[in-house]
A and B are shown apart, each in its own frame.
Chain A
């Protein structure tokens, strides 16, 4: 491979070398990540893997990206481009490192996500950028940990570092910048150490890239890297081409802005035209004065997070993957806000809602693809939101602490075509996600966990079940009082299922005031809430800050679950029995929701009784006798796929489970037997917990059943004003 320099005249690319260059680039960004993990202090980095490392070329094109937070593909790209606008390349030198965190000007996802970009020089010329970004524990502002539900503008949220702030100059820390930063944060030593580890990661990237250029030669390396972009782009373009052209529209809803419990619309029209895909967010709510606005970097990252596993699950992540995709968003909306709108939670609220919205749009179009592989990329929606709990205070005898509880990432995943959603998966973007141990949190912070378990009320029912979220409670231990910040972005508008699968449960926080918890424990323990006496139970607002918590109170957090895939009546009865025996579903759900009757003392399913029960449930759904329904359905010859279980044959929609002709023309949903009810009420019947919403707009669940066999073909969450 080393003789390539002599073959430059040729257009020839050795296919093996293309792959060798790809592997080398990925090794470099992964080694940057390892350097960061091994030197960093924040558990947010080392435990939750909340960071990214990447290489960009000198024009800001993404060359390689590590297996950590996918959302930062957006913020990192914007950070590099904005740096290039702020500082000309000619004024950069080896050993320089630039720091930024301002979402409005540098593309950051939110202020605690601090980015360091270092130019890489080879033979005296700038040839690339190493970029590292991590969630640092505190960046100042009104809320410890950098989250400020009470903020009305970005100035109160954090120290704001725009593009172009040089934090290392020719390898030496810039002291004036260091003093300025550390004077504005709550944990200055930890923050500066973490910044060091970002610089260390970039240094590793620079050294390894230069060694690679020694080996291949700069020109040949560039040529092969460009070839790598082109090949990834070709794959994505060919997959888009296999999707039917058209415009597809959908909505998602951001809940609560930190001040008021409004729903904010996120609208997107997705256009598939040949091998191009365009997302246009016109029609989205204007920016709001609460902390939920999603920066442009975060919106771009959300689109990348949603699309790359669907269209590019098996290609390298580089510039080429995103070339066929265009994103348009009007300025001053919650998906492309400007100063002074507050923004400190925008990425995991509105930003993650964008992921949900794009996955929903992709489900619509993938299900119509004539490529069966792409039809299998449909999925139950993930809750895609991070349920926050941040506790700050002083120990009885000891220092100030900030418990930024990484348990908050433990939502369940959306169900997949062949697999249940993963329990406690973390958000779609959280590749390599890790939760803390109970002992880790108890060692570092003055809390005593009462329980930490899977929440059986959260998995969206389906033939493949949605993943379960976490349910935990703690009481202060060795601490008299503290202040609590919370946010529960998925509470009233749950993550939808797909193809007849139902939505998953929502998140919530409660505080039980003035309990007898320590006495109850000493008297022999508790394992359920019923064992505890308390003065009152407070269901907290979706987002709130500065809530006092005192010794004797119990803080209780439950986290959302993923949407299901396919009608729950089509679930393998053996899996339902396993779920029941393991406590992964509510006791009555096996019979009520999945229609499974038990035999042999609950050890196995009674298949005959189950078939009867399922027919009965299908009959109840449509109020008339039903045909038999098959679970695995093949697309008949000459039919076009429309959705899971629905096809278009000879101009008419048909149910593939029983062959019933649904009707001709229009939207196939309109030919179904439809039922609509408030989502929280209907899902409560299915033993899934969603927070009731009593003010307009209301959140409804619309179920569409085949009028012939009663199989659930869709179950959509619809937001309505009467």
Chain B
């Protein structure tokens, strides 16, 4: 057999998507504290489906194993990581605290708080050294001073070192010397140098990135060692790959060298899944919509690729890293509805989370949430939540909504619930606007892909708000990130700040690219990626002289010589105006390059995979039952048909509900649903001119 595996370890569930001789099988199990058992359980579900009884034989045939996980995401979000000793240039000990001002967008003085300390101020030491903007040494490094301070920090109990000197990316010598000293004299203490993890300008983000990387190193090191060993003992031969924040995977060993890049690897898998889906369906432009219990994530696939964004934010911290561009807002099934000082309803940003959870969970939650609204509207069947695994208590949902909302607002319970639903839809539609309109794209040109347990109830309404006319709920929706991981590629990104002006010879820029290319080629060789599967993408962060922010643009995949200058300039103006509008380019100004970036891609794709839809033997085209729902967007109340068990095999008209064990889909009026060749649900909405007259 030929087996490839994608596994996404989430907070609640561990999802698996496994390709066995080109057929994709899904598996799902509860996540476990030790992570490994959860993974093995999810894979057990898959093995059972294909009747594979010999576990060792199964693992032996695995040629690709890609893992997405939340270990780094959780560590950063919860600020639970190792104590770090930070070495900085003398005179600049407060950089993290100054934080370029952590004022934020609130005008309420009670909401103005500093960013959390990621290093204790007493663990930050100043080193006498200084390099200037040109990379020249102004103050020489004194290794005796460094040694004394490292000893102090080690004695006080720090578990990792981070080194971030000003301008270290222009001249790495001082940091390299410190690194050498640590390696020699403190071999048991992991460390991160800013010139290695983040060789780009702006010391605040660089310092944050360096510290966070050092802080998760001790956690990650033991974690993956145990995991890899456990899998190896089961018979796995191929090396375990870990998904990175920029959408590609690297080996577990490589990942442990720069573990901060594992942040958000699950959602990156989702974007990768959408990329794959866009290829499979030959749809160039997709918007992904992923709604869970506490957050809603949206990303864009353009020309078959997702966008990556430099200077990504991790939790409350800006970093230097490039990440898949995912707009995330704190709106999910657990978001709480409340009445503000004007007497109007608001939803979120507070969430009931999973503990106590929505009122209808019956675990002590008394405040009305988005999920409670879905129950009251009849969109969710209280007896079939997660396939019946959790029984919902409709009476509690009604009570929470009645006490908190219906009374004060003078609305019926259904109207209040519809209000919660509408406000949620509106917030999510705004998130989608952020990543389309604000980046210069028209959402009407896009198809929406909906995944994540809670999204199916909202997707059609969100699409209508954004003038998107088609929604796809992939057959793999419930394990979509794992599906993406299964199909993902190996990516190695190197970046360097390389100040360059277009008044200079283009050969100078080429020199920088060639240096980076050397690094990428070495990585290709080391990872044993066959020549045929290698691809290199050149990118440059560019801006017009006088601008602050740069725009990433793809460079031609050829050697840059000076006669290509006009070509490169035109390409940039095109990219810039695609984003900001025709005529906005500063054509009178010089063009500057700040960073050069090289992406090495090792193709690991699985051609022509089909998805096993399973669950045979159920009656087709027969609604399973009917129930009364209130349409939240129109206020209409009617009896709708409820389909279960993949029962849809021809075009059906909304309103109707499709229930699967792990998700529920609501198809509203004036919409149709059918299943395509790959068994994905396709919802088509009537044109927007119709929608204006709708209600």
To the question of whether A and B form a pair in one complex, the answer is yes
A interface residues, Cβ below 8 angstroms from B:
1-3, 15-16, 18-20, 22-24, 27, 31, 34-35, 37-43, 46-47, 67, 70, 189-190, 193, 196-197, 200, 203, 208, 214-215, 231-232, 234-235, 308-309, 313-315, 317, 376, 379, 409-410, 413-414, 416-419, 422-426, 428, 430-440, 442-443, 448-454, 470, 477, 518, 521-522, 524-527, 581-584
Contact of A439 among B121, B133, B418, B695 (CB under 8 A): B133
The residue of chain B having its C-beta at the shortest distance from the C-beta of A446 within the complex is: B133
**Quick check: B202 and A439 within 8 Å, CB to CB?**
yes
Contact of A434 among B97, B100, B140, B343 (CB under 8 A): B100
Q: How far is the CB of B114 from chain A (nearest CB, A)?
A: 6
Query: Are A438 and B203 also in contact (CB < 8 A) when A27-B430, A315-B342, A379-B109 are?
Result: yes
Contact of B91 among A231, A423, A449 (CB under 8 A): A449
The residue of chain B having its C-beta at the shortest distance from the C-beta of A211 within the complex is: B467
Contact of A522 among B95, B99, B138, B499 (CB under 8 A): B138
> Chain A contacts of B346 at CB under 8 A?
19
**Quick check: B132 and A416 within 8 Å, CB to CB?**
no
> Chain B contacts of A3 at CB under 8 A?
695
A431-B106, A437-B204 known; 20 other A-B pairs, CB under 8 Å?
Answer: A1-B422, A2-B691, A2-B695, A16-B422, A18-B344, A23-B427, A35-B580, A197-B584, A416-B110, A422-B112, A422-B113, A424-B99, A425-B112, A437-B203, A451-B92, A518-B138, A524-B140, A525-B128, A525-B130, A582-B121
The residue of chain A having its C-beta at the shortest distance from the C-beta of B100 within the complex is: A435
Q: Is B606 an interface residue (CB 8 A)?
A: no
The residue of chain A having its C-beta at the shortest distance from the C-beta of B633 within the complex is: A1
Question: A522 CA to B438 CA in the complex, in Å?
Answer: 48
Question: A422 CA to B422 CA in the complex, in Å?
Answer: 37
**Quick check: B549 and A527 within 8 Å, CB to CB?**
no
Stretch among B390-398, B506-514, B540-548 lining the A interface? B540-548
Question: A312 CA to B540 CA in the complex, in Å?
Answer: 45
The residue of chain B having its C-beta at the shortest distance from the C-beta of A437 within the complex is: B202
**Quick check: A67 and B345 within 8 Å, CB to CB?**
no
**Quick check: A422 and B114 within 8 Å, CB to CB?**
yes
**Quick check: B549 and A46 within 8 Å, CB to CB?**
yes
Give 9 closest A-B pairs by Cβ, nearest first: A451-B91, A582-B121, A525-B128, A16-B419, A313-B108, A525-B139, A67-B105, A41-B546, A46-B548
Question: A314 CA to B108 CA in the complex, in Å?
Answer: 8
Question: A142 CA to B126 CA in the complex, in Å?
Answer: 42
Q: Is B107 an interface residue (CB 8 A)?
A: yes
B residues 404-426 touching A (CB-CB < 8 Å)? 409, 411, 418-419, 422-423, 426
**Quick check: A431 and B341 within 8 Å, CB to CB?**
no
Q: Is B201 an interface residue (CB 8 A)?
A: yes
> Chain A contacts of B694 at CB under 8 A?
2
Q: Is B159 an interface residue (CB 8 A)?
A: no
Contact of B341 among A39, A235, A439, A477 (CB under 8 A): A235
**Quick check: A431 and B110 within 8 Å, CB to CB?**
no
> Chain B contacts of A203 at CB under 8 A?
581
Question: A525 CA to B340 CA in the complex, in Å?
Answer: 56
The residue of chain B having its C-beta at the shortest distance from the C-beta of A447 within the complex is: B133
Query: Are A315 and B133 also in contact (CB < 8 A) when A35-B580, A70-B107, A522-B140 are?
Result: no
> Chain A contacts of B1 at CB under 8 A?
none
The residue of chain B having its C-beta at the shortest distance from the C-beta of A308 within the complex is: B107
**Quick check: A409 and B101 within 8 Å, CB to CB?**
yes
Question: A47 CA to B318 CA in the complex, in Å?
Answer: 14
Q: Is B122 an interface residue (CB 8 A)?
A: yes
Q: Is B166 an interface residue (CB 8 A)?
A: yes
Query: Are A453 and B94 also in contact (CB < 8 A) when A2-B693, A15-B345, A439-B167 are?
Result: yes
**Quick check: A438 and B90 within 8 Å, CB to CB?**
no
> Chain B contacts of A31 at CB under 8 A?
433, 437-438
**Quick check: B203 and A439 within 8 Å, CB to CB?**
yes
> Chain B contacts of A190 at CB under 8 A?
546
**B contacts with A: majority SS:** loop
Question: A414 CA to B109 CA in the complex, in Å?
Answer: 9
Kindly supply a per-residue 1/0 record for chain B positions 196-210, scoring 1 wherever the CB is within 8 Å of any chain A CB and 0 otherwise.
000001111000000
> Chain B contacts of A521 at CB under 8 A?
130, 138-139
Q: How far is the CB of A584 from chain B (nearest CB, A)?
A: 8
Q: Is B238 an interface residue (CB 8 A)?
A: no
Question: A299 CA to B97 CA in the complex, in Å?
Answer: 33
> Chain A contacts of B95 at CB under 8 A?
438, 452
The residue of chain B having its C-beta at the shortest distance from the C-beta of A43 within the complex is: B548
> Chain B contacts of A19 at CB under 8 A?
344-346, 423
Contact of B103 among A23, A43, A433 (CB under 8 A): A433
**Quick check: B341 and A16 within 8 Å, CB to CB?**
no
B residues 312-360 touching A (CB-CB < 8 Å)? 340-346
Question: A410 CA to B98 CA in the complex, in Å?
Answer: 9
> Chain B contacts of A442 at CB under 8 A?
132-133, 167
**Quick check: A313 and B692 within 8 Å, CB to CB?**
no
Q: Is B254 an interface residue (CB 8 A)?
A: no
> Chain A contacts of B549 at CB under 8 A?
37-38, 46
Question: A309 CA to B590 CA in the complex, in Å?
Answer: 43
> Chain A contacts of B91 at CB under 8 A?
449-453, 526-527
Place the interface of chain B in its size category: 35 or more
Q: Is B539 an interface residue (CB 8 A)?
A: no
26 sample A-B contacts, Cβ–Cβ < 8 Å, listed by A number: A2-B693, A23-B423, A31-B437, A38-B549, A38-B580, A41-B547, A41-B548, A67-B107, A200-B581, A215-B692, A314-B341, A315-B341, A376-B110, A416-B109, A419-B110, A431-B107, A432-B105, A434-B101, A437-B202, A437-B203, A438-B95, A442-B132, A452-B92, A453-B98, A522-B140, A526-B91
Q: Is B616 an interface residue (CB 8 A)?
A: no
The residue of chain B having its C-beta at the shortest distance from the C-beta of A37 within the complex is: B549
**Quick check: A15 and B97 within 8 Å, CB to CB?**
no
> Chain B contacts of A451 at CB under 8 A?
90-92
Kindly supply a per-residue 1/0 record for chain B positions 110-150, scoring 1 wherever the CB is within 8 Å of any chain A CB and 0 otherwise.
10111000000110001011101100001110100000000
> Chain A contacts of B90 at CB under 8 A?
451, 525-527
**Quick check: A200 and B133 within 8 Å, CB to CB?**
no
Q: Is B588 an interface residue (CB 8 A)?
A: yes
> Chain A contacts of B579 at CB under 8 A?
38
> Chain B contacts of A449 at CB under 8 A?
91-92
The residue of chain A having its C-beta at the shortest distance from the C-beta of B408 within the complex is: A15
> Chain B contacts of A422 at CB under 8 A?
101-103, 112-114
Q: Is B104 an interface residue (CB 8 A)?
A: yes
> Chain A contacts of B101 at CB under 8 A?
409-410, 422, 424-426, 433-435
Q: Is B586 an interface residue (CB 8 A)?
A: yes
Question: A20 CA to B344 CA in the complex, in Å?
Answer: 10
> Chain A contacts of B581 at CB under 8 A?
200, 203
Question: A208 CA to B549 CA in the complex, in Å?
Answer: 24
**Quick check: A438 and B166 within 8 Å, CB to CB?**
yes
> Chain A contacts of B97 at CB under 8 A?
423, 454
Question: A20 CA to B421 CA in the complex, in Å?
Answer: 12
Contact of A314 among B92, B102, B340 (CB under 8 A): B340
Q: How far is the CB of B281 from chain A (nearest CB, A)?
A: 28
Question: A232 CA to B344 CA in the complex, in Å?
Answer: 11
Question: A97 CA to B431 CA in the complex, in Å?
Answer: 30
Q: Is B589 an interface residue (CB 8 A)?
A: yes
The residue of chain B having its C-beta at the shortest distance from the C-beta of A199 within the complex is: B584
Q: How far is the CB of A326 from chain B (nearest CB, A)?
A: 22
Question: A23 CA to B140 CA in the complex, in Å?
Answer: 55
**Quick check: B692 and A425 within 8 Å, CB to CB?**
no
> Chain A contacts of B538 at CB under 8 A?
none
Question: A67 CA to B113 CA in the complex, in Å?
Answer: 17
Q: How far is the CB of A427 from chain B (nearest CB, A)?
A: 10
Question: A379 CA to B97 CA in the complex, in Å?
Answer: 22
Contact of B110 among A193, A418, A525 (CB under 8 A): A418
The residue of chain B having its C-beta at the shortest distance from the C-beta of A193 within the complex is: B586
Question: A35 CA to B581 CA in the complex, in Å?
Answer: 10
The residue of chain B having its C-beta at the shortest distance from the C-beta of A20 within the complex is: B426
> Chain A contacts of B589 at CB under 8 A?
189, 193
Question: A238 CA to B109 CA in the complex, in Å?
Answer: 20
**Quick check: B133 and A313 within 8 Å, CB to CB?**
no
> Chain A contacts of B691 at CB under 8 A?
2
**Quick check: B203 and A39 within 8 Å, CB to CB?**
no
